[in-house]
């Protein structure tokens, strides 16, 4: 930590680029070079760089990231790179307007709080059981597409209740196609540039989005004009109104907001669960300990003891540390700010990567090793912003509680029924695209 009290301007010669093909390392994918990022930032709290032609300042120091996201969050808005996500919705929680953002967080909260999520658990289990029952012993399963299907069915069934079974099924299927296309879309680097240059490259994504929105719009049109508690999140969006009773969102904007919420929930869950099952297929000791803990948790016990997190929770925390789905983020300075010992003018894009912070050896010794027991001596609240799989502060993931419960339910049901193994000789590559996901993950199920 620097002790300098004066401020400075980042020099032009400090600039680097992270969409280069140079210097690929052992942990890299062909789409985005993490070792390149680590090399550019080694020993620096901040460094100027270019991401897809956008000038930015990359922040590696978790103390400074916490200031950006928490203590000085009002000084930072959504960054230039954030526009890559705004093709889903320009209202509600993705609005640039902070008051609107907070309003729609509060509107969604009743459907994501603890009491609501507890009521979803039986439905979650049923969805996972139905999906896993279709697997066949010895036949390779595309785990990521399956986890995508599971996450989408859970999201639709819990957040949009009360639909006819055939409508719920159709919505789930169309959301699955949309989420699958979104997961694999590169956002940064030369892969994104190459895709953008290809005519019709986004045609499948556009078609999937249109097909899902068309069915969702039909569902919105069928909702009652007055608020219906049984209508869930979709009904709440449609019924939202001002003090004079005027609706705040058009039917089209309701669809946009619902698409944003549903895809955000599903693409991240599918990616995390894919990594979790990948780890279990490669680590027999972790699998043995997880199975034992899940049995104890089903009976109301835990192996943590003395207030320590259970092994299941530690396992999931370690998966999220190594494979955070939202692996890079961007904010923009709304006014002149001082960050660390540097002055940043208004309009500066500030970038930080949870992937890099989660693998910083200062915070996590032997950072690339999968070690759930490291969380026996580390508490997330004591590591500043070096563990932010769900973000932190006022813009942190509103569905975090929902996600923790869902991840545990999927783990529990799948591992009760199946032992998953890997195909001999198959290597799984990391794909940092819309989410950080396995490039292709085929696992072979065998009955327990």
The arithmetic mean of pLDDT across residues 251-275, rounded, is 92
Residue 216 has pLDDT above 50, yes or no: yes
* Among 57-66, 85-94, 234-243, 381-390, the range of highest mean pLDDT: 57-66
Kind and range of the H or E run holding 4 = none
How far is it, in rounded angstroms, from Cα 110 to Cα 404? 17
Residue 46 has pLDDT above 70, yes or no: yes
pLDDT tens digits, 304-313: 556 789 999 9
User: Residue 160: which of 217, 211, 207 has the closest Cα?
Assistant: 217
Kind and range of the H or E run holding 46 = strand 46-51
Name the residue with higher pLDDT: 360 or 273: 273
Domain carrying residue 183: 14-447
How far is it, in rounded angstroms, from Cα 305 to Cα 165? 43
Let me know if residue 8 belongs to a domain.
Answer: no
pLDDT tens digits, 121-159: 999 999 999 999 999 999 999 999 999 999 999 999 999
Mean pLDDT of the chain: 84
Confidence at residue 36, expressed as pLDDT on a 0 to 100 scale? 73
Question: 406: pLDDT confidence band, cut at 50, 70 and 90?
Answer: very high
Q: How far apart are the first and last CA of the chain?
A: 51
Name the residue with higher pLDDT: 32 or 114: 114
Lowest mean pLDDT among 115-119, 245-249, 265-269: 245-249
User: Residue 68: which of 327, 391, 324 has the closest Cα?
Assistant: 391
> What DSSP assignment string belongs to 261-320?
HHHHHHHHHHHHHHHHHHHHHH-HHHHHHHHHHHHHHHTT--S--TTPPPHHHHHHHHHH
Place of tokens 């540097």: 342
Question: 190: pLDDT confidence band, cut at 50, 70 and 90?
Answer: low
CATH of the domain at 230: 1.10.630.10
Question: 192: pLDDT confidence band, cut at 50, 70 and 90?
Answer: low
Lowest mean pLDDT among 179-188, 317-326, 364-373: 179-188
pLDDT tens digits, 334-371: 999 999 888 999 999 999 999 999 999 989 999 999 99
Let me know if residue 7 belongs to a domain.
Answer: no
Confidence at residue 90, expressed as pLDDT on a 0 to 100 scale? 54
How far is it, in rounded angstroms, from Cα 448 to Cα 129? 14
Question: 27: pLDDT confidence band, cut at 50, 70 and 90?
Answer: very low
CA angle 174, 178, 179 (to 5 degrees): 115
Domain count, the chain: 1
Question: 226: pLDDT confidence band, cut at 50, 70 and 90?
Answer: low
Who's near 132: CB < 8 A, 6+ residues apart?
413, 414, 417, 418
Confidence at residue 199, expressed as pLDDT on a 0 to 100 scale? 65
Let me know if residue 340 belongs to a domain.
Answer: yes
How far is it, in rounded angstroms, from Cα 204 to Cα 184? 11
Lowest mean pLDDT among 40-44, 156-160, 197-201, 238-242: 197-201
Question: 229: pLDDT confidence band, cut at 50, 70 and 90?
Answer: low
Name the residue with higher pLDDT: 62 or 200: 62
Confidence at residue 231, expressed as pLDDT on a 0 to 100 scale? 67
Residue 443 has pLDDT above 50, yes or no: yes
Let me know if residue 104 belongs to a domain.
Answer: yes
Let me know if residue 2 belongs to a domain.
Answer: no
Let me know if residue 3 belongs to a domain.
Answer: no
Residue 446 has pLDDT above 50, yes or no: yes
Confidence at residue 81, expressed as pLDDT on a 0 to 100 scale? 61
Confidence at residue 238, expressed as pLDDT on a 0 to 100 scale? 87
Let me know if residue 263 belongs to a domain.
Answer: yes
Question: 162: pLDDT confidence band, cut at 50, 70 and 90?
Answer: confident
Measure Cα distances from 333 to 249, 258, 352 in Å.
29, 29, 14
- Does 152 count as an annotated binding residue? no
Kind and range of the H or E run holding 422 = strand 418-422
Question: 20: pLDDT confidence band, cut at 50, 70 and 90?
Answer: very low
How far is it, in rounded angstroms, from Cα 427 to Cα 439? 10
* Count of CA atoms in the C-beta half-sphere (13 A) of 263: 29
The arithmetic mean of pLDDT across residues 284-297, rounded, is 95
Let me know if residue 1 belongs to a domain.
Answer: no
How far is it, in rounded angstroms, from Cα 277 to Cα 132? 13
Confidence at residue 91, expressed as pLDDT on a 0 to 100 scale? 59
Confidence at residue 243, expressed as pLDDT on a 0 to 100 scale? 87
């Amino acid at each position: 930590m620097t002790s300098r009290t004066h401020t400075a301007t980042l020099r032009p010669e400090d600039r680097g680029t992270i969409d280069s093909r140079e210097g690929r390392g052992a942990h890299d994918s062909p789409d985005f070079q993490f070792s390149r990022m680590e090399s550019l930032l080694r020993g620096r709290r901040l460094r100027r760089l270019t991401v897809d032609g956008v000038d930015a300042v990359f922040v590696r120091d978790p103390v400074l990231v916490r200031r950006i996201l928490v203590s000085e969050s009002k000084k930072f808005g959504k960054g230039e790179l954030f526009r890559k996500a705004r093709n889903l919705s320009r209202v509600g929680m993705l609005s640039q307007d902070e008051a609107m953002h907070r309003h729609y967080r509060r509107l969604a909260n009743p459907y994501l709080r603890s009491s609501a999520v507890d009521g979803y658990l039986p439905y979650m289990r049923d969805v996972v059981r139905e999906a896993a029952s279709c697997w066949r012993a010895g036949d390779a399963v595309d785990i990521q597409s399956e986890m995508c299907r599971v996450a989408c069915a859970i999201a639709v069934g819990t957040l949009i209740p009360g639909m006819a079974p055939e409508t719920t099924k159709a919505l789930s299927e169309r959301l699955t196609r949309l989420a699958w296309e979104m997961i694999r879309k590169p956002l940064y680097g030369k892969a994104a540039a190459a895709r953008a240059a290809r005519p019709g490259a986004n045609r499948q994504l556009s078609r999937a989005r249109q097909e899902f929105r068309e069915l969702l719009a039909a569902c919105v049109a069928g909702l009652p004009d007055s608020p219906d508690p049984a209508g869930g999140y979709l009904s709440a969006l449609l019924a939202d109104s001002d003090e004079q009773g005027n609706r705040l969102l058009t039917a089209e904007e309701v669809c946009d907001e619902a698409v944003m919420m549903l895809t955000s929930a599903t693409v991240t869950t599918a990616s995390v669960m894919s990594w979790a099952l990948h780890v279990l297929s490669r680590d027999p000791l972790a699998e043995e300990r997880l199975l034992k803990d899940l049995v104890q948790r089903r009976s109301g016990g835990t192996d943590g003891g003395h207030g320590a997190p259970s092994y299941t929770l530690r396992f999931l925390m370690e998966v999220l540390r190594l494979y955070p789905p939202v692996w890079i983020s961007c904010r923009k300075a709304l006014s002149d700010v001082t960050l660390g010992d540097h002055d940043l003018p208004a309009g500066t894009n500030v970038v930080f990567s949870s992937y890099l912070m989660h693998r910083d050896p200062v915070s996590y010794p032997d950072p690339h090793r999968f070690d759930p027991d490291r969380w026996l001596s580390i508490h997330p609240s004591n590591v500043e912003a070096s563990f932010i799989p769900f973000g932190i502060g006022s813009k942190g993931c509103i569905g975090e509680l929902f996600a923790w419960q869902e991840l545990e339910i999927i783990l529990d049901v799948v591992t009760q029924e199946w032992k998953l193994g890997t195909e001999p000789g198959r290597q799984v590559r990391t794909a940092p695209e819309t989410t950080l996901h396995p490039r292709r993950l085929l696992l072979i199920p065998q009955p327990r």
